[in-house]
């Protein structure tokens, strides 16, 4: 069983971002981001996502928490529908028209992940995180939300630098790799087409690894909870 309480995060696993190639003289010159958020930073980000007193329905903080816990893409989380969720079963099901690669996926939700939409006031029948002032659309104020979050987040009084929401996805995958989670399970969690699958394998191997995904995501959630608890205890001692 992976030991999720090991501190430190390796920076071995490169994340890849897709950029439009039109107009680029040499796409190979694009520098891939390698930023991995460490354990102390994860705890600080989570704490920064907690709503302030009286701040009901802090959508951006809830979105960031789910990005951290599930490793899914920004828009997939922000556009989450109530109809996609089965909170009793702990599942979130995305159809192909909701994913970047147009492949449907089922994301098992950990107990902590389930608690996030459960805590969101249901002000919209469709979207879990509706746009402010537009009930027919989902949240999209990423830049404003990130700026506000950056103003709240600090580690030992030092502001986090050079991190993006997508880095949380890379952080999850890197941690899984370090703990020797099988690559094809990681790929299924991220809803990537596993590079190791041949065309024949893609046709015949229809197993979706839901059980394995649930076990790994729950262990990751347990690790995040432990980090939050440790940070809270350290803050209490410092007070």
Which residues are CB-contacts of 3 (< 8 A; sequence separation ≥ 6)? 179
CA 18 to CA 73: how far, in whole Å? 12
CA 120 to CA 222: how far, in whole Å? 21
CA 222 to CA 136: how far, in whole Å? 35
In the 8-state DSSP scheme, what is residue 91?
E
Where do the domains of the chain lie, and which CATH numbers do they carry? 35-238 (1.10.443.10)
User: What pLDDT, on the 0 to 100 scale, is given for residue 90?
Assistant: 98
CA 170 to CA 16: how far, in whole Å? 9
Provide the residue-wise pLDDT of the chain in tens; the chain has 239 residues.
Answer: 555 544 333 333 344 444 344 444 454 555 678 999 999 999 999 999 998 765 655 799 999 999 999 999 999 999 999 999 999 999 999 999 999 999 999 999 999 999 999 999 899 999 999 998 898 999 999 999 999 999 888 766 777 889 999 999 999 999 999 999 999 999 999 999 754 455 656 666 778 899 999 999 999 999 999 999 998 888 778 76
């Amino acid at each position: 069983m992976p030991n999720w309480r090991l501190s430190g995060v390796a920076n071995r696993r490169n994340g890849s971002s897709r950029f439009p190639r039109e107009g680029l003289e040499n796409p190979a010159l694009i520098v891939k981001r390698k930023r991995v958020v460490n354990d102390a930073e994860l705890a600080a980000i989570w704490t920064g996502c907690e709503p302030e007193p009286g701040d009901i329905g802090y959508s951006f903080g809830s979105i960031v928490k789910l990005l951290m816990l599930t490793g899914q893409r920004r828009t997939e989380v922000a556009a989450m529908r109530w109809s996609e969720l089965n909170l009793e079963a702990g599942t979130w099901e995305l159809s192909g028209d909701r994913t970047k690669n147009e492949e449907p996926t089922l994301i098992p939700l950990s107990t902590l992940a389930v608690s996030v939409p459960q805590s969101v006031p249901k002000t919209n029948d469709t979207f879990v995180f509706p746009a402010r002032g537009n009930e027919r659309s989902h949240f999209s104020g990423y830049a404003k939300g990130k700026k506000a979050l950056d103003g709240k987040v600090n580690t030992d009084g030092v502001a986090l630098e050079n991190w993006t929401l997508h880095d949380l996805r890379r952080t999850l995958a890197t941690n899984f790799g370090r703990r020797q989670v099988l690559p094809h399970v990681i790929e299924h969690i991220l809803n990537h087409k596993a590079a190791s699958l041949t065309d024949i394998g893609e046709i015949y191997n229809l197993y979706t690894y839901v059980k394995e995904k649930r076990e790994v995501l729950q262990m990751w959630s347990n690790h995040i909870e432990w980090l939050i608890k440790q940070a809270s205890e350290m803050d209490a001692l410092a007070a």
